[in-house]
Amino acid sequence: MSQTVLEPGGHQSCLGCTRRQDSWWAGPTATVATILAFIIYSTWAAFQGEHYYAEPYLSPFYSPLLLIKPDVAGGAPLDHAWFAGWPEWIPAFVTPAFFILIFPGAFRFTCYYYRKAYYRSFVASPPGCAVGARMPGTYDGERRLLAFQNLHRYALYFALGFIVVLTWDALIAFMKYNPATDRREFGVGVGTLVLCLNTTLLACFTFGCNSFRHLVGGNVNAYSKHPVRFKLWSWVTVLNRRHMEFAWLSLFSVGLTDLYVRLVSMGIITDYNTWGF
Ligand code: FES
């Protein structure tokens, strides 16, 4: 009778070999499809450089607007920029999104949950529990080149800053500029709700981060002496338990929010709202 060769951890020794009867491949396949679709769309949106603004909505892919390229269709008014002017020496293909996307990108890429997802689905190392890996027996931890994953705790600080900025964008989305009165007026549009929902999901993803949980509750010997930190740690733990869900929901929401702003800016869809002008 033939004997199945098992690697440590119960994995069989050939790629994809398993005794599992369930659809273990569905998760990794969906992960590849979703992440590839997001990378393609977000890269296109970043290079596209137009229609990222529809008063008073700003796409999260372009926020914060450090610099604004003038005379761009669907671009933000120049006074929305943090810094004035667009330096001549910047190559023509560069858009305002180029200055910022590296930060949320690095935060997601090094996230503990996403690592598990893409190690399984893109590297097949292994593709699932008790499923044969691509190079069985060669994994020896996140060392050498993979040590860059330690950047996650630093990427967190930038991600927290982005939550502040996006919260401000969501608040501004209640105040639309009325050219007739030359004032911003309070109201609510579908876009306002879209931006609020996106910021909420991104905040739930960011505040549920393992590094943030350590930041608020780590290095404490006795929580009884640190009740505030214990309370914060407890709240973060609630989000942390759902980190996978928020990782996916916020990925969808940030892409769909850009799409919504883009379609409104292009005049393809109407933003139903209370302003009436
Ligand atoms: S562990 Fe996922 S964002 Fe930090």
Please check the confidence at residue 96 and state whether its pLDDT lies above 90: yes
Whether ligand 1 lies within 6 angstroms of the CB of 111 is answered as yes
Please check the confidence at residue 2 and state whether its pLDDT lies above 70: no
pLDDT tens for each residue of 108-149: 999 999 999 998 899 888 888 888 888 777 777 788 888 889
206: tokens are 């960011």
Q: Higher model confidence: residue 4 or residue 149?
A: 149
- What pLDDT does 177 receive? 95
Query: What pairing do the DSSP bridges indicate for beta strands 175-178 and 183-186?
Result: antiparallel
pLDDT tens for each residue of 8-48: 666 667 888 888 889 999 999 999 999 999 999 999 999 99
Q: What is the DSSP string of 107-142?
A: HHHT-HHHHHHHHHHTT-SSSSTTB--SSTT----S
- What pLDDT does 124 receive? 87
Please check the confidence at residue 63 and state whether its pLDDT lies above 90: yes
pLDDT tens for each residue of 206-224: 999 999 999 999 989 999 9
- What pLDDT does 4 receive? 57
Rounded to whole angstroms, the maximal C-alpha distance in the chain is 86
- What pLDDT does 7 receive? 61
Whether ligand 1 lies within 6 angstroms of the CB of 209 is answered as yes
Give strand pairing partners of 54.
57
**Predicted structure pTM score:** 0.91
Crossing angle (nearest 10°) for helices 210-217 and 152-172: 100
Whether ligand 1 lies within 6 angstroms of the CB of 250 is answered as no
pLDDT tens for each residue of 141-158: 788 888 889 999 999 999
pLDDT tens for each residue of 156-205: 999 999 999 999 999 999 999 999 999 999 999 999 999 999 999 999 99
Radius of gyration of the chain (CA): 23
- Which of 103, 151, 204, 209 should be mutated for ligand 1, with most atoms under 8 A from CB? 209
**Closest C-alpha residue for ligand 1 atom 4:** 209
- Which of 112, 153, 248 should be mutated for ligand 1, with most atoms under 8 A from CB? 112
Please check the confidence at residue 1 and state whether its pLDDT lies above 50: no
